[in-house]
Chains A and B, each alone.
Chain A
């Protein structure tokens, strides 16, 4: 069997992030991701599965989900309809709106355009996985504080994109926030408050220019 190279994308980004924590930690964590994904591939390589349902194990918010899924089931579908993680939303099912955004090894992806079977061996983070022990993450808190939501349907997707951004770029400019959130749509018009929330979560001071004149 040829020597295989493990999928680089997720590990590459994680490596970049972890660089800031120090070389030793980075190497250790990378090696861990490397070995999990490699194990998976070894076990599954060149075995043909489907079209009927097959066992698929997903690691979501640190926990294992053991599901029986057809290969054509998307990660979004798996989360929403084969488990009760309905935080990621279906807005279009065509990789165009971002309501389904989750993190795969710290990188935001559209879960509607990723087969669940291909998310095995990766660390999936959904909106449900951000708050720790009932405490909102800084991004979640900032969204609340700056009212960066209205109907809330696009909100989990945006929060995932902003969360991912701040991991790689802890002090982004407004333009960088816009660039990072370009793949998320909102119909209610929360964008200005989202930019404020991302800035606030990054520790920047944010002021509103809204003026109330008492007539």
Chain B
């Protein structure tokens, strides 16, 4: 039965990213770089009201702006707007300047309606309704549950802590905004999309525009990040297509950075009231959670998998969703694990402190997962836990150091079993793989080259890889950390089929490596086109599987006079089954950590409750981790070939915020319960901020 080779030349080693040259030279064309002849620029007019009824939209003056070729409304009127930034109209023209002028010339008649943007306001009985006739507060049956006898269990505990841990709405903010260059003619629709999912993107055009799938082609050669926000069809794509149709020209419509904060997804907030208790010997015994959060006007990922990775015999979980007039949530890297991990791991440390136990020992006692047990021990040694760990707040001097840790599990990372691909083998020995997947920066193209090189006995440089075209055999969207686990067995299968056919046609028993060119030459003039699909392989030693785990340790320094938190070091110990390429894998783990650090210390979408606007729709006040903030990161990878390929993109970001928050609490001997942990909040936790007295 098929399985990965035991000895490998490229797999599990370090291979340079094969698409680096176009990226480092500026030759790589992203959606907004496509040189479509006669192209026009598109722009969207968005609602400045958080809630309103739009009764009229006058596009006349916009159409008169020189250079404007088309102007359309987004929806039929009257339009009910439910969040600041909702799409109202769109224009296209020969220059961006013309479009800017045209947007300002559109006349909108709107009747503002009552709105609510803060969770605590939206929960009130007299809050304005986001959806007419519906309460802002709802819950899903799966989000809540009970096991054991919680009320009896708490009194049995030797130590109980309660805490109210909160996380903000987080914005994806990929460096490339959302958008497409679209050309819709009688021949069909082609979209160069900034997407993580070309198939879903195609659906997103075909459905609303009433086209057959066969008439829609989506191409994504390069894209500038998505983190979950680009997994679906898009409003902006459909608007660009309609403009293209009307103007009879390709339209390049990319969102602005401002738009990114309003309308293309986010990670829901969480307000987690946790009560947790343990027996005298440190065994977790009782857990209670009351959580609410907002997915904006709608969306998922509010319910949290608590008590996350820990088994507690008596637990009660109650979760509610709170609608507000803000953009809907979308899947955001490991949804909804980061807020769950952050709060649970913080509560664990707070309980350990109450018990007087070392928080690492407390975890080893309560987390029976073998992989994490190993990972904690490795990580503890690398961070110097034994030598450096001090009881909370006991670090001397003004700048206090602290250690924290947290664990993760990601049940995704499995494969999309429908993944297919093809390879064209030419008589000159050149080979081109074509898969309908995307490289969102993770190194997908390189993974394909590495696996192919390994299985065919060639070098990665000899493999040509093309992805990101709905004309290619279909593959999954790049979400859930499934891509690597989907394509690796698929490429394995393609190679197996290729060798079989080559060997049959050429009469050469083993067409790999040194025999490759001779075998290909025997093809004569006709290339060989080989198809393959995902397969499981030997169930005892599968080609791919799931889940992945991972633990992270953080060392921080907290200036107790200024409140500034500096992360000095992160030690990350991760597993993802069989490692394909250590170099690109390292990039994913670095990325997950740096994003998790942003979640812990800097990022927060701020809504203004007076006006209903997003107050920080820019990089100035929506703060991403910068190069000056990034700590030393030390990565240990557990290679587990027997588990097959598993994904890493999401496990890498889950534990970071919890580890950092715990390190801060350990350093200062006080808990900042709310993310992001800013200097303001640290000073408040230290009791240094005078209480506010309203005058």
Q: Is the CB of B378 within 8 A of A213?
A: yes
Interface bin, chain A: 35 or more
Whether A77 is near chain B, meaning CB under 8 Å from some CB there, is yes
A210 and B35 alpha carbons, distance in the complex (Å): 41
Q: Give the Cβ gap from B604 to chain A, nearest Cβ, in Å.
A: 16
Q: Is the CB of B591 within 8 A of A150?
A: yes
Q: List 25 A-B contacts (CB under 8 A).
A: A72-B97, A81-B95, A88-B26, A126-B26, A128-B25, A130-B25, A147-B16, A147-B20, A147-B584, A150-B442, A150-B587, A153-B174, A156-B24, A156-B26, A185-B626, A187-B225, A189-B587, A189-B592, A191-B594, A192-B633, A193-B586, A194-B627, A210-B586, A212-B636, A215-B575
Whether A56 is near chain B, meaning CB under 8 Å from some CB there, is no
Whether A70 is near chain B, meaning CB under 8 Å from some CB there, is yes
Q: Is the CB of B17 within 8 A of A144?
A: yes
Q: Is the CB of B634 within 8 A of A209?
A: yes
**In the complex, residue of chain A having the shortest beta-carbon distance to the beta carbon of B583:** A147
The answer, among A73, A85, A212, for a CB contact under 8 Å with B582, is: A212
Q: Chain A residues near B442 (CB, 8 Å)? A: 150
Stretch of B272-280, B412-420, B528-536, B616-624 contacting A (4+ beta carbons < 8 Å): B616-624
Whether A188 is near chain B, meaning CB under 8 Å from some CB there, is yes
Number of interface residues of B (CB under 8 A): 73
Chain A 106-159 residues near chain B, CB threshold 8 A: 126-128, 130-131, 136, 140, 143-145, 147, 149-156, 159
Q: Chain A residues near B637 (CB, 8 Å)? A: 210-213
The answer, among B21, B24, B173, for a CB contact under 8 Å with A159, is: B24
The answer, among B25, B256, B628, for a CB contact under 8 Å with A179, is: B628
Whether A93 is near chain B, meaning CB under 8 Å from some CB there, is yes
Q: Chain B residues near A210 (CB, 8 Å)? A: 582, 586, 634-637
Q: Is the CB of B20 within 8 A of A149?
A: yes
Q: Is the CB of B26 within 8 A of A128?
A: yes
**In the complex, residue of chain B having the shortest beta-carbon distance to the beta carbon of A208:** B586
Q: Is the CB of B619 within 8 A of A152?
A: no
Q: Is the CB of A80 within 8 A of B175?
A: no
Q: Is the CB of A70 within 8 A of B174?
A: no
**In the complex, residue of chain A having the shortest beta-carbon distance to the beta carbon of B224:** A153
Q: Is the CB of B174 within 8 A of A151?
A: yes
Q: Give the Cβ gap from B627 to chain A, nearest Cβ, in Å.
A: 5
Q: Chain A residues near B95 (CB, 8 Å)? A: 70, 81
Whether A97 is near chain B, meaning CB under 8 Å from some CB there, is yes
Q: Chain B residues near A145 (CB, 8 Å)? A: 16
Whether B49 is near chain A, meaning CB under 8 Å from some CB there, is no
**In the complex, residue of chain A having the shortest beta-carbon distance to the beta carbon of B653:** A189
Chain B 249-278 residues near chain A, CB threshold 8 A: 254, 256-257
A106 and B347 alpha carbons, distance in the complex (Å): 52
* Contact A153 to B25, CB < 8 A, known contacts A213-B378, A213-B639, A215-B575: no
A82 and B174 alpha carbons, distance in the complex (Å): 25
Q: Chain A residues near B636 (CB, 8 Å)? A: 210-213
A186 and B594 alpha carbons, distance in the complex (Å): 10
Q: Is the CB of A136 within 8 A of B24?
A: yes
Whether B410 is near chain A, meaning CB under 8 Å from some CB there, is no
Q: Is the CB of A147 within 8 A of B441?
A: no
Q: Is the CB of B35 within 8 A of A84?
A: yes
The 3 closest A-B pairs by CB, nearest first: A87-B26, A189-B591, A151-B441
Q: Give the Cβ gap from B567 to chain A, nearest Cβ, in Å.
A: 12
Whether B595 is near chain A, meaning CB under 8 Å from some CB there, is yes
A185 and B587 alpha carbons, distance in the complex (Å): 16
A181 and B254 alpha carbons, distance in the complex (Å): 26
Whether A184 is near chain B, meaning CB under 8 Å from some CB there, is yes
A87 and B29 alpha carbons, distance in the complex (Å): 8
Whether A14 is near chain B, meaning CB under 8 Å from some CB there, is no
Whether B121 is near chain A, meaning CB under 8 Å from some CB there, is no
A191 and B628 alpha carbons, distance in the complex (Å): 9
Q: Give the Cβ gap from B391 to chain A, nearest Cβ, in Å.
A: 29
**In the complex, residue of chain B having the shortest beta-carbon distance to the beta carbon of A139:** B24
Whether A214 is near chain B, meaning CB under 8 Å from some CB there, is yes
Q: Is the CB of A91 within 8 A of B627?
A: no
Q: Is the CB of B33 within 8 A of A86?
A: yes
A181 and B587 alpha carbons, distance in the complex (Å): 18
The answer, among A81, A127, A143, A213, for a CB contact under 8 Å with B96, is: A81
**In the complex, residue of chain B having the shortest beta-carbon distance to the beta carbon of A150:** B441
Whether B12 is near chain A, meaning CB under 8 Å from some CB there, is yes
Q: Chain A residues near B628 (CB, 8 Å)? A: 178-179, 182
Chain B 522-543 residues near chain A, CB threshold 8 A: none
**In the complex, residue of chain B having the shortest beta-carbon distance to the beta carbon of A214:** B639
**In the complex, residue of chain A having the shortest beta-carbon distance to the beta carbon of B100:** A72
Q: Is the CB of A187 within 8 A of B619?
A: no
Q: Mark A162-204, 1 if CB is under 8 A from B, else 0.
A: 0000000000000001110110111111111111000000000
Given contacts A87-B26, A213-B637, 9 further A-B contacts (CB under 8 A): A128-B26, A130-B25, A143-B24, A145-B16, A152-B222, A156-B24, A192-B630, A193-B587, A195-B627
Chain A 19-40 residues near chain B, CB threshold 8 A: none
A215 and B637 alpha carbons, distance in the complex (Å): 9
Q: Chain A residues near B254 (CB, 8 Å)? A: 90
Q: Is the CB of A153 within 8 A of B175?
A: yes
Whether B490 is near chain A, meaning CB under 8 Å from some CB there, is no
A82 and B256 alpha carbons, distance in the complex (Å): 19
Q: Give the Cβ gap from A116 to chain B, nearest Cβ, in Å.
A: 12
Q: Chain B residues near A73 (CB, 8 Å)? A: 97
Whether B157 is near chain A, meaning CB under 8 Å from some CB there, is no
**In the complex, residue of chain B having the shortest beta-carbon distance to the beta carbon of A94:** B618
Q: Is the CB of B582 within 8 A of A127?
A: no
Q: Is the CB of A192 within 8 A of B24?
A: no
Whether A18 is near chain B, meaning CB under 8 Å from some CB there, is no
